[in-house]
Amino acid sequence: MRMNIVAGNWKMNTTVSEGVKLVSEIVEKSKDLSNVKLIVAPPFTHILSVGEKIKGSEIGLSSQNCADEAQGAYTGEVSAKMLADAGVEYAIIGHSERREYYKESSEVLLKKIKLALANGISPIFCIGENLDEREKNRHFEVVKKQIEEVIFNVDENDFEKIIIAYEPVWAIGTGKTATSEQAQEIHAYIRNVLLEKFGKKAENTSILYGGSCKPSNAKEIFSQSDVDGGLIGGASLNADDFIAIAKSF
């Protein structure tokens, strides 16, 4: 069974106390939600305190990244093992901000995904084209390459633990959203790419949409058959908006 998921990527926002307040509100307001899995991805410094607040709830805990090495002299990095030990169950890997600002290549992303999986963490693997690629009608080949270079190199037995987030770069934080037709078209394409490699297992892969998703457009986007939820940036910093998006299923 494919899971409906709404995941909040807090990015580099909130202090620890603000994050704890935010997640407490999310816990409180999500009590009657049943057909959707909520995930929160706070900054590293908030993982333990936020994890404490969601104990006993169905909300999942995600990091926004993990190191591409297992351990050792990598100043400033946080390993998948450390994250798992701190209670992290999911890790956002390959967000376009990491690809663009920190030059993370497919090679690096594959290492991160393998380390996450080896430590029992489900990767939320982000893919998506930029505006130039969309305008040149290259979006299909771009996402296919992003999947082939990383996900096709993951052990078949681990494939079911992977969540895909399709996030057109031109829609992230811009207020521009893909139309529901654009989202369905490319989500169906992504699923087909996965089906060809992994067979029927890909029917169960959750493929999330991300890019200026908000309460006013979530229902329309989530109504598409191959859209299984959303990765939410800006709107996940407001508990009411985040919950309203989750209630759009």
Catalytic residues: 95, 167
**Residue 129 near ligand PEP by CB under 6 A:** no
* Span from 39-47, 66-74, 186-194, 204-212 in contact with ligand PEP (CB under 6 A): 204-212
Q: Going residue by residue from 101 to 120, which x/- string records binding to ligand PEP, judged by CB under 6 A?
A: --------------------
d(CA 152, CA 224): 25
Contact pick of 42, 51, 168, 233 for ligand PEP (by CB under 6 A): 233
* Exposed / middle / buried, residue 136 (Cβ in 10 Å: 0-12, 13-18, 19+): exposed
Q: Is the alpha carbon torsion for 100, 234, 3, 123 positive or negative?
A: positive
- Which residues have a Cβ under 8 Å from the Cβ of 87 and sit 6 or more positions away? 47, 48, 51, 61
**Residue 9 near ligand PEP by CB under 6 A:** yes
First to last CA, the chain: 16
d(CA 149, CA 156): 15
Q: Is the alpha carbon torsion for 56, 57, 63, 69 positive or negative?
A: positive
DSSP string, 203-218: GG--EEEESS--HHHH
Contact pick of 117, 210, 226, 228 for ligand PEP (by CB under 6 A): 210
d(CA 177, CA 183): 9
* Span from 31-39, 108-116, 150-158, 166-174 in contact with ligand PEP (CB under 6 A): 166-174
**Residue 63 near ligand PEP by CB under 6 A:** no
Contact pick of 211, 227, 243, 248 for ligand PEP (by CB under 6 A): 211
**Closest CB 13 distance from ligand PEP, rounded Å:** 10
Contact pick of 71, 141, 156, 173 for ligand PEP (by CB under 6 A): 173
* Exposed / middle / buried, residue 89 (Cβ in 10 Å: 0-12, 13-18, 19+): middle
d(CA 143, CA 186): 9
**Residue 234 near ligand PEP by CB under 6 A:** yes
Contact pick of 91, 109, 232, 246 for ligand PEP (by CB under 6 A): 232
Q: How many residues bind ligand PEP (CB under 6 A)?
A: 13
**Closest CB 143 distance from ligand PEP, rounded Å:** 15
Contact pick of 154, 213, 227, 239 for ligand PEP (by CB under 6 A): 213
Would you tell me which residues interact with ligand PEP (CB under 6 A)?
A: 9, 167, 172-173, 210-213, 231-235
